[in-house]
Amino acid sequence: MKHLFLTKLFVIFSSLVTIAQQADKPNVIYIYADDLGYGDIGAYGQQKIKTPNLDRIAKEGIRFTQHYTSAPVCAPARCMLLTGRHGGHSYIRGNYELGGFADSLEGGQMPLPEGTFTIGHLMQQAGYKTAAIGKWGLGMHTSTGDPNKQGFEYFYGYLDQKQAHNYYPTHLWENGKWEKLNNPVIDVHPAKAEIPKNPNYASFIGKDYALTKMGDKAVAFINENKKKPFFLYLPFVAPHVSLQVPAEAVKEYVGKFKEDPYLAQQGYMPVQYPLSTYAAMITYMDKQVGRVLDQLKLFGLEENTIVMFSSDNGAAFNGGVQAKYFNSVGPLRGLKMDVYEGGIREPFIARWLGKIPAGKVTDLISAQYDIMATLADIIGVTPPANDGISMLPTMLGKDQLQKKHEYLYFEYPEKGGQIAIRMGNWKGVKTNVRQKANSPWQLYDLSTDIGEQKDVSAQHLDIIKQFTSIAEKEHRCSHIKEWEFIDPKFTRE
């Protein structure tokens, strides 16, 4: 009897120790949208698209109004998020594509190199179970960029972001293995000449929808790891074109907008209801977020889980997306591929019940390359060298302890070669640098000109001089010619 009592006591004690250890290591879920504009969700002013679950995260947590991606397109944004580096230091700086669109040509993007240290590694070393579910875009499973080699014990989704243009793919990847889906081969990049005036829109819809599969795997991962600390990186593919979503989701919006069919005038596949489909894709992604939140509640993990949400870059400009109609970037200038505010300023919300004050709004100037430092601060470890500053003090309502960036630096080699610097309320932009090395700085005072319409560079030559020095300091030469536009060691063509 005494032995039985001691055994029960030991079990209770062990359970208490486990609970205490769990409390010291909160679970972390980082959700990443794809081509979602600053104003595409309700918490940031969206009026036409329903996002109740994301709005709930903002209401129960903190909303950042001046948060930035690190680059205005997919692959470099993901690399910089995962490694804590800005565009002048990052190994990957643009969408360097390998292979083609067909399954037989799947080659991915330039892979992360061997020896890269990601936030996945950071969390792994702290004893976390790690998973990446969604769009990777940083190398195939046969390369050094394999997510299973880059800090994530479990991966499910698209390895090649070109494949992610189709939400009904023939397959997704699970830990390096091809998972066949119940979808026919769908070409979402048909030649314009091949598209009739009355296309068969249903031919671009399959049975297994990628976002649903990702939601399923995310819920399963939480279930399997509910008794141990976990880190879930959840880079959803919505609302990146092509515009595809199950018919029942589109029905929620059909009739609410005055819209005409999209006949692939700007690339990608035709869509019968482009406005309704875009809205439905965002709402459908929001429902997957809701499934994740419900799972946390089911297992009593809400108070011990930090949920964060952001997007990789601004709203798209092609494939039937009508950013102006939805006011997708609010009053900001530019879209995806621009270093103007509309291309790089992103929503960022975070919830940690009982720790992050509910309904808090902050104008802290921050960037996604701060996530490495922030996670290290949360779990109490020292991160490797990075360009970020922990946002945790602000998240916890301890604004007086928050360190601040002297400036944020952006460098993007595509669309002519662009540079941007945010320093206080000043925003400097350089465009077409690849063709014109001495391209002049544009200067905007965001406190009075958030739309970046009035260039005041001529009145502030001292600030322009500072920005020139910052660019010289922060730029490291890239390892490939295609990305080196600031200090090229070759003749400009």
CA distance 359 to 337: 32
Q: Tens-of-pLDDT digits for all 493 residues of the chain?
A: 444 444 444 444 434 433 444 457 999 999 999 999 999 999 999 999 999 999 999 999 999 999 999 999 999 999 999 999 999 999 999 999 999 999 999 999 999 999 999 999 999 999 999 999 999 999 999 999 999 999 999 999 999 999 999 999 999 999 999 999 999 999 999 988 788 889 999 999 999 999 999 999 999 999 999 999 999 999 999 999 999 999 999 999 999 999 999 999 999 999 999 999 999 999 999 999 999 999 999 999 999 999 999 999 999 999 999 999 999 999 999 999 999 999 999 999 999 999 999 999 999 999 999 999 999 999 999 999 999 999 999 999 999 999 999 999 999 999 999 999 999 999 999 999 999 989 999 999 999 999 999 999 999 999 999 999 999 999 999 999 999 999 998 765 5
Same domain, 231 and 311: yes
- Spatial separation of the C-alpha atoms in residues 213 and 294, rounded to whole Å: 17
Q: Which residues face 132 on adjacent strands?
A: 155, 233
Which residue type does 221 have?
Answer: F
The last residue of a domain, from among 353, 373, 401: 401
Same domain as 146, residue 116: yes
Question: What CATH number should be reported for the domain holding residue 341?
Answer: 3.40.720.10
CATH number at residue 428: 3.30.1120.10
CB 407 within 8 A of CB 418: no
**356 lies in some domain:** yes
| Residue after which a domain boundary falls, among 401, 425, 460 | 401
How far apart CA 128 and CA 230 sit, in angstroms, is 5
User: How high is the pLDDT of residue 194?
Assistant: 86
What the block records as the tokens of 269 is 């596949």
Residue at token pair 């996945």: 120
Q: Domain of 460?
A: 408-483
Quote the distance between the C-alpha of residue 481 and its chain's center.
26
Q: Is residue 88 in a domain? A: yes
Residue where a domain terminates, one of 348, 370, 401: 401
Tokens standing for residue 76: 């470099």
pLDDT of residue 492: 59
Into how many domains does the chain fold?
2
